[in-house]
Structure 1
Amino acid sequence: MVNEVSSDNQSTNIVFVLLISVSAALGGFLFGFDTSVINGAVIALGEHFNVGPVLIGLSVSLALMGSAVGALSSGCISDRYGRVKPMLIAAVMFTASGIGSGLPYSVWDFIFWRFVGGVGIGLASAITPAYIAEISPAHLRGRFGSLQQLAIVTGIFVAMVSNYLLVKIAGGSAGMDLWLGAETWRWMFWAEVPPAVLYGVAALIIPESPRYLIGTGCEREAESVLFKVLGKDVLKKIDEIKNSLKTEKGSSFSDLKGRYGFSPIIWVGFGLSILQQFVGINVIFYYGSMLWRSVGFSEENSLWITVITGVVNVVTTLVAIAFIDRVGRKPLLLIGSAGMLVTLGVLAYIFAYAPLDAAGHPALSGSSATTALFAANLYVFCFGFSWGPVVWVLLGEMFNNRVRASALALSAGAQWIANFLVSASFPSMVAWAGLGRTYSIYAFFAAVSFFFVMFCVRETRGKELEEM
């Protein structure tokens, strides 16, 4: 009977942690939706504002600089105000960005509203993995931590489906009028507002991180939250957290310094964040429809391909959730790096040796088109079960309690800067070097990522945060 009660309590605790983790991960959903919604609107924006590839690249990528600002500021904000209040701030920014991005007078105020949304993305991207890591039991932390990536890829998928359906309803180009006399691309951005409001409501309901509460002297509140999470050994866990906070140094950026500028673990965080972007994954999500149209597919078919890619991304993240606490973090990263190297190499070869159309773009048809589509989705599959979710899990758990917020802020900031560099450079790189050479560069970084993980990354599966 005692075992049954214990089992029931444990199930209740898991459900509690799952619910609050899902609520927190809504920030990841908006992160994915906001960064991907531009995919369907990018060509219409270029036509509406009559701008070339440089400003198109900036309109897509300057939001990522906002993300870097949000991520870098998240450490001091979360250390001072906790993990939950910054989520509420991010929700307000997402809402404002969704409304403003659909009502621009020029490309520059469009960029401004995208920048505002980017700051919200940066806050959510750094705070959510830290919050989930701090609220989750050690034996389930990998799975719950992967909810962040599942939410991101779900947001990407929903944005792609939303874009496709809006274009389908409008009967063609994303620049055509839809409802209330507003062009389709405006509705693509306004579709972000309802989930942004829901995220704000969730942020008002979920409890604060127990580790933050203990660090600020609110032990009674922390005890209440930990009891709902663990169901037992609460006082022992509080003592462990208090001891780790006493023995670890402060959490300002200056405390992260080491012999080579930063301590080794911070450099590992930088490496994971930068390589996650330098393999070129977000080129598929930001420019996918433009990419497939440039090699001969129609607008509707290009958007449909991005929907298929979104489905692949969601399914493979579920694979990661199933295996991350069984197989471990490091093996998944190594397998993913090897798979991305092969598939990116195939894409580089196909794009490099495809015949050119009158505009000088590769013209894929028949078996080459089928192979490119298969390789692109297999590439997304390899990323989706490895570098997508595992990097966020590692960033949430690899740093010790005292420095986690600041270290995650720096790592997430590096990730967004790397994302900006890749996204801003893609149109110009394709125009200058062609798709084949551009994808060869991404394949090179996939090879680098394999050796980086092999020699620099430690396994964290099953360890308590106090052991880090």
Structure 2
Amino acid sequence: MSHIPTTATAAADPKSPPPLAHVVFIAAAAAMGGFLFGYDSSVINGAVEAVRDRYDVGSAALAQVIAIALIGSAIGATVAGRIADRIGRIPCMRIAAGLFTVSSIGSALPTGLWDLSAWRVVGGFGIGMASVIGPAYIAEVAPAAYRGRLAAFQQAAIVLGIAVSQLVNWLILNLADGDQRGELAGLEAWQWMLGVMVLPSLLYGVLSFLIPESPRYLVSVGKTTEARAVLARVEAPGTSLDARVTEIADTMGRETRSAFRDLRGAVLGLRGIVWVGIGMALFQQLVGINVAFYYSATLWQSVGVDPSSSFFYSFTTSIINIVGTVLAMLLVDRVGRKPLVLAGSAGMTVALGCVAWAFSADLVHGRLPHAQGLVALIAAHVFVLCFASSWGVVLWVMLGEMFPSSIRAAALGLSSATVWVANWVVTATFPSMSDWSLSGTYIIYTAFAALSLPFAAKFVQETKGRSLEEMGRQE
């Protein structure tokens, strides 16, 4: 049995790495909420036309049904931090899992359009909670040396959920002979698409019983023995557990539970670091990334691509998304957060500009000219790669670690809510904006990508390799 040092330092032997397999499992389990977000984002894309046909609704009303889940997500993200501070991170995950499960069943068996919308709001609330709790929990449990890569599991889970949902949709459509409204075992194909999400929802709930509570939360409620036991399983051998508990306790002792009033500051009513989080959340969404996942099939078909090819391009986009996310996970703790963000902003600006140029061409026989079509296809994939390898991952990593502990939960909740609201704005406005001008819409997305570059250069601070307590002291 190894001796546990009780000196005043929490440093570990650099030759003794943390028990990586265990912390990877913890991070993956917590990131299941991200998987459900990705799954829900893409699965509705496969049901759009069936919902339009069954309920005989126009594009504007249909866009609201698609986007309304994001309103629930914004509310869930706003309140999740305060709930987590009161009852713990793990109970929050279980609540979210329950909401996912109920929403999946209700969405598969709606009595009408607004009933479907209501169930999507319920699921959105769960998604919002999971989006806050996942990054915060991973940041609080993961050893500092691996925190960036483990926190990136949130985005990795999102893109994996997108890819899995597309495969599930394809399988269901094949079983229904390619008809979204084709009947399977008494339900239409699109209902099965939405209902199958009950399986990962239940898995999320089960996994929440297999991972420990956050040591920082345990210390905050006086359960130092339990916190020490958790740290013993995630910190490197040779780490002074007593010193780590003392460090956390000292930090928590100087703080109170975070509330939105704690975010107040001198910069337009909020602390400067809170505005940085809000700004990053806005830029991540206003470049139009979720158009690629909510409307990808409709987008390609609008410029003359046949339905089967549009599905293929949507699938290749999801594969590029996964590749970019893995690339970011490999680089985020080596290169750092800020360099990835700057490179991603530059790449997205160029790629989106090329898409805007390509879509400005007049259609020939209902299709883009060959040159413009090829540019649009390549540039759209490059855009997704640049996003996934930078802002897609780095935002969730940094939101979990950039705020002082005294405001982390509330600030993370507000920033995550901003993500959902901005996502809703883009999702709800795209059909009308594309009717106005598809090229003009992408020029707007290009402008936001360009503006994200000076914003990141001036305001985003590097957090690589710094402990949460250290960042809190320097705020």
Q: Same fold (TM over 0.5)?
A: yes
What secondary structure, in the 3-state scheme, does the structure 1 residue paired with 2:209 have? helix
> 1:128 aligns to what?
134
Gaps of 5+ in 1: none
Equivalent of 2:243 in 236, 256, 259: 236
> 1:461 aligns to what?
464
CA distance in 1, matches of 2:168, 2:373: 25
Amino acid at match of 1:247: R
> 2:21 aligns to what?
15
> 2:290 aligns to what?
282
CA distance in 2, matches of 1:334, 1:254: 32
> 1:163 aligns to what?
169
2:303 is the alignment partner of 1:295 = yes
> 1:401 aligns to what?
405
> 2:154 aligns to what?
148
> 1:103 aligns to what?
109
> 2:362 aligns to what?
354
Amino acid at match of 2:20: I
> 2:349 aligns to what?
341
Structure 1 residue 11: deviation in Å? 5.5
> 2:254 aligns to what?
247
CA distance in 2, matches of 1:9, 1:214: 28
Structure 1 residue 294: deviation in Å? 1.4
Structure 1 residue 293: deviation in Å? 1.5
Contact 1:43 1:290 in 2 (8 A): no
Equivalent of 2:70 in 32, 44, 64: 64
- Work out the percentage of aligned pairs sharing the same amino acid: 47
Structure 1 residue 104: deviation in Å? 1.4
> 1:424 aligns to what?
428
Structure 1 residue 363: deviation in Å? 2.2
Equivalent of 2:448 in 430, 438, 445: 445
Contact 1:30 1:121 in 2 (8 A): yes
> 1:380 aligns to what?
384
Distance 1:201 1:250, change over 3 A: closer
Contact 1:145 1:393 in 2 (8 A): yes
Equivalent of 1:139 in 138, 142, 145: 145
| Higher mean displacement: 97-106 or 141-150 | 97-106
| TM-score where L is the length of structure 2 | 0.94
> 2:6 aligns to what?
none
Contact 2:18 2:143 in 1 (8 A): no
Amino acid at match of 1:129: P
CA distance in 1, matches of 2:303, 2:443: 17
Equivalent of 2:373 in 369, 382, 385: 369
Gaps of 5+ in 2: 3-11
> 1:172 aligns to what?
178
Distance 1:7 1:256, change over 3 A: closer
Aligned residue pairs: how many? Answer: 458
* Deviation by residue 1:128-154 (Cα, 9 ceiling, x = unmatched): 000000001111110000011000110
> 2:272 aligns to what?
264
Distance 1:328 1:59, change over 3 A: same
What secondary structure, in the 3-state scheme, does the structure 1 residue paired with 2:360 have? helix
Contact 2:297 2:310 in 1 (8 A): yes
Amino acid at match of 1:209: S
Distance 1:356 1:77, change over 3 A: farther
> 1:195 aligns to what?
200
| TM-score where L is the length of structure 1 | 0.95
2:442 is the alignment partner of 1:434 = no
Contact 1:168 1:300 in 2 (8 A): no
Amino acid at match of 1:460: T
Contact 2:85 2:257 in 1 (8 A): no
Structure 1 residue 191: deviation in Å? 1.6
> 1:314 aligns to what?
322
Equivalent of 2:229 in 224, 232, 235: 224
2:119 is the alignment partner of 1:116 = no
What secondary structure, in the 3-state scheme, does the structure 1 residue paired with 2:437 have? helix
Contact 1:163 1:303 in 2 (8 A): no
Contact 2:149 2:329 in 1 (8 A): yes
Superposed CA RMSD: 1.7
Structure 1 residue 170: deviation in Å? 2.1
Equivalent of 1:73 in 70, 79, 82: 79
